[in-house]
Amino acid sequence: MISASRVLVDSNVLLDVLQEDARWYEWSARQLSECAEQAGLVINPVIYAEVSIGFDTIESLEDALPPEQLRREPLPWEAAFLAGKCFLRYRRSGGTRRSPLPDFFIGAHAAVAGMPLLTRDASRYRSYFPKLALIAPDTT
């Protein structure tokens, strides 16, 4: 049961459903449905950008991610700051990427806004956002 009014939905869950992923479709579709029954589903510009790669037009992307079902929220400035700090920890611990990964922005947004994050890839979120409430395969 979700105790929040909104849930941030990671792009991997949306892509599982949109692409009918053989391994993850069933879990992701069920979790999306259950979360939607209990809370508002939210995406941000980073999630929107990650999902957009599979679409040729913005119209087809909008059809796939209807705003009535997936509320769009901007990335808070505080989340950008937190994402930068988490990225710095990542680099200092041996991470090789030169710019902040999308997961840092997504995790920071959920953490700053007090939203649980629906994701199937919880490891990085657990490492860098240990207090973040996750809805993930190992928590359901």
Mean local confidence (pLDDT), 32-52 = 97
* pTM score: 0.93
Residue range 59-117, pLDDT digits in tens: 999 999 999 999 999 999 999 999 999 999 999 999 887 777 899 999 999 999 999 99
What does the mean pLDDT of the chain come to?
94
* Neighbour tally for 121: CB within 10 Å: 15
Whose structure tokens read 């589903």?
41
Task: Categorize the per-residue pLDDT at 3 as very low, low, confident or very high, splitting at 50, 70 and 90.
Answer: confident
